[in-house]
């Protein structure tokens, strides 16, 4: 079991992070390439300041707490804080990052990490409950929307239990292995699931650029479908 | 993914009836609509730049449902098919299934999404229940532009012949007809209308003015929604009064080669959008004008402002909305508005196409506050306004009048009622038509008019009748 944990901490971890980064890099490349090839000079016409300004409002989304979605949005926002901060800055994780990337990140205290982990878990359960019990949320939810929530609960829950043996009814080794493997499985999923919004967020937001339509495209489509001299 | 229509039909144990649309479709497609839809979608993906956007949305859409509570249509119906994300997802599922490797592979396992005749019926209905107001986009944490996707879905539909006849007939006349405008107003009728407006202005203001027609080398070439020439003479007279009072009468012209700012291409077709924009710029070039001056019309202003730089090529000109021009005149002291004429309570409706982007929000309010004693805003306002319910071309489709009244416009009607306003200012031909119908439908105690209709009452014309004299004359006539 210890050997498995060591493998999960070492090569598996490196592999999953590598796949995630390469996958995300691929997505970014495809977006940048697609935009540069498709839009070219028209990118200059895009209202960049407005795009960046709107994106910035989501870092502190208080103006976006609108009626009808306050609970869901609060849970989602708070969950994002934990899901970013704890994997990166918990002292045990900082050691892993240093070993893998040589990065020397500042660490947060165990107490802060505990609070963030527990609030993240509560928020995850709340989001899952919304998707299960609200007809409006069910209508737009697909299987992966549920699975991802469960898959994120796993590393957070097991991580908390591993850090607090008093709360852990299972063997520490089993819990730690679950923690590592479930987290690594999530890393592998990032580029192909909606978790990819970690980078695609930036490209989703630039729809104003996509209103810079390609000149002549409409006529070419009409000609391809209806032949030359197509009528309205 | 299974659509509502398909599910409902399955529940009833029947196959969805094909070729059913909630609006009149001229020469609708026969036979294999699925194949033709996919062929048209493939052509669109081949020649345009939508692919990266669709790929990104497919992967990262959070499905958080925030769009639902910001959509006035969903707020009224509560129906899942009116959730913007749900509608967008139909098109994304088609893209994923038929145009990506991942989608093809998924389709080999289990009972995955298939495009069927029933889904096409669902798209034809659902995509015309959206007013393309883009309010939902503001509340989407990812910034998914459901208005753009709605438009794309409609574009593909139009390429297989599914488009409301009202829109298609108008565009056909504008691009292929003799008059080159959506209301089929011949050049001769335009000239007669302008002569009539001259006479009206002489009666009303006491000034003799001849509308400038086909004057070359002018600063502004004027385009309004052509329907204004038939239905909104007071808006046009208000425009003319500002130009005259500001001393700019020799700086503008109306061209008889093209005088319609309406562009329904904005609502459903890249092809038509571009062709209509080119007609506008060609007219400015013919007259050697310097700028396009767009009258009170939201989508005409947005389509010109946004797409003249995109499609104009060498013929790119600045685009100015008339309210921007009027505010400039007011700030420079070129026009004066009598603050004692309009005493009723006035509110302002933001047309989505000019306000959502933040382009025109404060300008009309600054003008109104300069001469209206009792101005109240709606809540929410400006960039977060609610659509009138007739956006995205819906106002022109008579067959969906009941939808526009009971669903699309219900939230707006409640908003107007809450202000207690006597006058609703709507500087847009489409919003005006929809709001007038809403006022009648909900028996709201107010009138709807354009901003320049109100300005016409209060503007001071040097050497002519004063606003007070004009008001007294109007009261006498009304008795």
pLDDT digits (tens, 9 = 90+) for B180-215: 999 999 999 999 999 999 999 999 999 999 999 999
| A24 touches B: beta carbon within 8 Å | no
Contacts of A129 in chain B (CB under 8 A): none
CB within 8 Å: B141 and A218:
no
Q: Which of A59, A152, A213, A230 to mutate to test the interface with B (most CBs of B within 10 A)?
A: A213
- Torsion (CA) A51, A54, A55, A59 in degrees, nearest 10: 160
Contacts of B309 in chain A (CB under 8 A): 45
Tell me the per-residue pLDDT of B213-243, one tens digit each, with 9 for 90 and over. 999 999 999 999 999 999 999 999 999 999 9
Q: What average pLDDT does this structure show over B85-106?
A: 94
The pTM of the full predicted model, rounded to 2 decimals, is: 0.93
What pLDDT score was predicted for residue B6? 46
Residue of chain A whose Cα is closest to the Cα of B90: A140
B20-29, B144-153, B444-453: least confident range:
B20-29
Q: How far apart are CA B408 and CA B388, in angstroms?
A: 7
Residues 112-141 of A with CB under 8 A from B: 134-137, 139-141
A29's CB contacts (< 8 A; 6+ apart) are none
Average pLDDT, chain B: 94
Q: How far apart are CA A51 and CA A147, in angstroms?
A: 32
Residue of chain A whose Cα is closest to the Cα of B172: A232
What pLDDT score was predicted for residue A223? 97
CB within 8 Å: A215 and B311:
yes
- Residues of chain B above pLDDT 70, percent: 96
What pLDDT score was predicted for residue A51? 84
CB within 8 Å: A34 and B51:
yes
A231's CB contacts (< 8 A; 6+ apart) are B172, B176
Tell me the per-residue pLDDT of B117-133, one tens digit each, with 9 for 90 and over. 999 999 999 999 999 99
What pLDDT score was predicted for residue B20? 76
Q: How confident is the model at residue B168 (pLDDT cuts 50, 70, 90)?
A: very high
From first to last of the 232 residues of chain A, give the pLDDT tens digit.
889 999 999 999 999 999 999 999 999 999 999 999 888 878 877 788 888 888 888 888 888 888 889 999 999 999 999 999 999 999 999 999 999 888 888 999 899 999 999 999 999 999 999 999 999 999 999 999 999 999 999 999 999 999 999 999 999 999 999 999 999 999 999 999 999 999 998 888 888 889 999 999 999 999 999 999 898 9
- How far is residue B387 from each of residues A125, B117, B143, B391, measured CA to CA in Å? 36, 31, 19, 7
Tell me the per-residue pLDDT of A59-116, one tens digit each, with 9 for 90 and over. 888 888 888 899 999 999 999 999 999 999 999 999 999 998 888 889 998 999 999 9
DSSP B408: I
- B12 has a pLDDT exceeding 50: no
* CATH fold for domain B337-478: Rossmann fold (3.40.50)
Instruction: Return residue ranges of chain B for CATH 1.20.1050.
Output: 179-328
What pLDDT score was predicted for residue B429? 96
Residues 25-54 of B with CB under 8 A from A: 39-40, 43-44, 46-53
CATH number of B4-163: 1.10.1060
| A27 touches B: beta carbon within 8 Å | yes
Instruction: Return residue ranges of chain B for CATH 1.10.1060.
Output: 4-163
* CATH fold for domain B179-328: Glutathione S-transferase Yfyf (Class Pi); Chain A, domain 2 (1.20.1050)
Contacts of A55 in chain B (CB under 8 A): 143
Q: Which of B51, B65, B74 to mutate to test the interface with A (most CBs of A within 10 A)?
A: B65
Q: Which residues pair with B223 in a beta bridge?
A: B294
Q: How far apart are CA B261 and CA B270, in angstroms?
A: 16
Q: How far apart are CA B471 and CA B465, in angstroms?
A: 10
| B384 touches A: beta carbon within 8 Å | no
- Residues of chain B above pLDDT 90, percent: 88
Tell me the per-residue pLDDT of B366-418, one tens digit each, with 9 for 90 and over. 999 999 999 999 999 999 999 999 999 999 999 999 999 999 999 999 999 99
The answer to whether B435 and B448 have CB atoms below 8 angstroms apart is: yes
| A218 touches B: beta carbon within 8 Å | yes
Residues 136-195 of A with CB under 8 A from B: 136-137, 139-142, 145, 192-194
What pLDDT score was predicted for residue B306? 95
What pLDDT score was predicted for residue B17? 47
- B340 has a pLDDT exceeding 60: yes
B19-23, B48-52, B75-79, B369-373: least confident range:
B19-23
Residue of chain A whose Cα is closest to the Cα of B173: A232
Q: State both tokens at A155.
A: 């590393």
Facing residue for A64 by CB, picked from B139, B309, B313: B139
Q: Which residues pair with B164 in a beta bridge?
A: B25
ipTM greater than cut 0.95: no
User: First CA to last CA across chain B, in angstroms?
Assistant: 64
CB within 8 Å: B59 and A194:
yes
CB within 8 Å: A73 and B275:
no
- Can you list the domains of chain A with their CATH numbers? 2-226 (1.20.950)
Q: State both tokens at B378.
A: 């709606």
Instruction: Return residue ranges of chain B for CATH 3.40.50.
Output: 337-478
Facing residue for B56 by CB, picked from A31, A67, A72: A31
A88–chain B nearest CA distance, Å: 22
Instruction: Count residue pairs from A and B with Cβ separation < 8 A.
Output: 179
| A39 touches B: beta carbon within 8 Å | yes
Q: Residue B75: what are its φ and ψ, rounded to 5°? A: -60, -30
The answer to whether A126 and A118 have CB atoms below 8 angstroms apart is: no
What pLDDT score was predicted for residue A42? 80
What pLDDT score was predicted for residue A25? 97
Residue of chain B whose Cα is closest to the Cα of A201: B142
What pLDDT score was predicted for residue A54? 83
Residue of chain A whose Cα is closest to the Cα of B55: A31
B285-294, B370-379, B461-470: least confident range:
B461-470
């Amino acid at each position: 079991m210890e050997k498995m944990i060591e493998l999960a901490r070492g090569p598996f971890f490196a592999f999953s992070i590598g796949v995630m980064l390469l996958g995300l890099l691929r997505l970014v490349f495809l977006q940048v390439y697609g935009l540069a090839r498709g839009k070219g000079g028209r990118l200059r016409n895009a209202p960049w300041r407005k795009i960046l300004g709107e994106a910035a409002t989501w870092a502190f989304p208080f103006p976006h707490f609108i009626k009808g979605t306050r609970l869901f949005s609060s849970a989602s926002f708070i969950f994002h804080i934990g899901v970013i901060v704890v994997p990166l800055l918990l002292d045990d994780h900082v050691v892993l990052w240093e070993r893998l990337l040589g990065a020397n990140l500042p660490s947060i205290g165990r107490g802060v990490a505990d609070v963030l982990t527990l609030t993240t878990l509560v928020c995850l359960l709340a989001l899952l409950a919304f998707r299960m019990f609200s007809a409006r949320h069910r209508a737009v939810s697909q299987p992966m929307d549920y699975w991802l929530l469960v898959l994120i609960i796993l590393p957070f829950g097991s991580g908390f239990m591993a850090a607090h043996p008093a709360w852990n009814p299972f063997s520490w080794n089993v819990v730690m292995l679950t923690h590592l493997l479930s987290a690594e499985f999530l890393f592998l999923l990032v580029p192909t699931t909606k978790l990819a919004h970690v980078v695609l967020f930036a490209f989703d937001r630039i729809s104003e650029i996509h209103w810079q339509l390609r000149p002549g495209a409409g006529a070419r489509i009409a000609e391809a479908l209806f032949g030359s001299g197509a009528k309205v | 993914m299974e659509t509502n229509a398909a599910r409902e039909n399955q529940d009833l144990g029947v196959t969805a009836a094909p070729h059913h649309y909630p609006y009149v479709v001229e020469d609708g497609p026969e036979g294999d609509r699925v194949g033709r839809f996919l062929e048209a979608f493939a052509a669109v993906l081949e020649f345009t730049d939508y692919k990266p956007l669709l790929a990104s949305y497919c992967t990262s859409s959070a499905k958080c449902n925030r769009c639902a509570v910001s959509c006035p249509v969903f707020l009224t119906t509560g129906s899942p098919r009116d959730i913007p994300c749900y509608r967008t997802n139909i098109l994304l599922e088609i893209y994923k299934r038929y145009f990506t490797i991942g989608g093809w592979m998924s389709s080999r396992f289990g009972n995955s999404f298939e495009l069927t005749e029933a889904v096409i019926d669902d798209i034809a209905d659902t995509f015309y229940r959206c007013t393309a107001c883009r309010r939902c986009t503001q509340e989407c944490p990812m910034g998914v532009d459901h208005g753009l996707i709605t438009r794309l879905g409609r574009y593909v539909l139009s390429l297989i012949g599914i488009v409301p006849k009202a829109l298609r007939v108008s565009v056909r006349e504008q691009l292929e007809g003799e008059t080159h405008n959506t209301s089929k107003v011949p050049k001769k009728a335009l000239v007669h209308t302008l002569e009539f407006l001259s006479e009206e202005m002489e009666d009303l203001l006491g000034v003799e003015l001849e509308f400038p027609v086909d004057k070359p080398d002018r600063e502004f070439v004027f385009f309004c929604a052509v329907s204004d020439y038939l239905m909104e003479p007071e808006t046009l007279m208000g425009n003319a009064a500002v130009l005259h009072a500001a001393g700019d009468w020799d700086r503008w012209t109306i061209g008889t080669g093209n005088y319609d700012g309406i562009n329904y291409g904005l609502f459903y077709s890249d092809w038509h959008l571009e062709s209509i924009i080119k007609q506008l710029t060609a007219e400015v070039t013919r007259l050697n004008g310097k700028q396009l001056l767009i009258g009170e019309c939201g989508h005409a202003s947005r389509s010109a402002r946004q797409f003249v730089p995109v499609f104009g090529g060498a013929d790119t000109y600045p685009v100015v909305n008339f309210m921007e021009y009027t505010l400039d005149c007011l700030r420079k002291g070129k026009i004066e508005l009598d603050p004692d004429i309009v005493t009723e309570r006035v509110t302002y409706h933001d047309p989505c196409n000019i306000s959502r982007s933040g382009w025109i929000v404060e300008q009309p309010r600054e003008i109104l506050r300069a001469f209206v004693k009792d101005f109240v805003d709606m809540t929410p306002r400006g960039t977060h306004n609610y659509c009138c319910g007739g956006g995205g071309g819906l106002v022109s489709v008579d067959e969906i009048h009941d939808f526009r009244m009971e669903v699309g416009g219900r939230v707006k009607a409640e908003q107007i009622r809450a202000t207690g306003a006597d006058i609703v200012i709507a500087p847009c031909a489409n919003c005006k038509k929809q709001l007038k119908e809403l006022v009648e439908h909900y028996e709201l105690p107010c009138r709807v008019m354009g901003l320049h209709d109100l300005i016409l009452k209060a503007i001071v014309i040097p050497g002519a009748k004063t606003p007070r004299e004009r008001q007294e004359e109007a009261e006498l006539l009304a008795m």
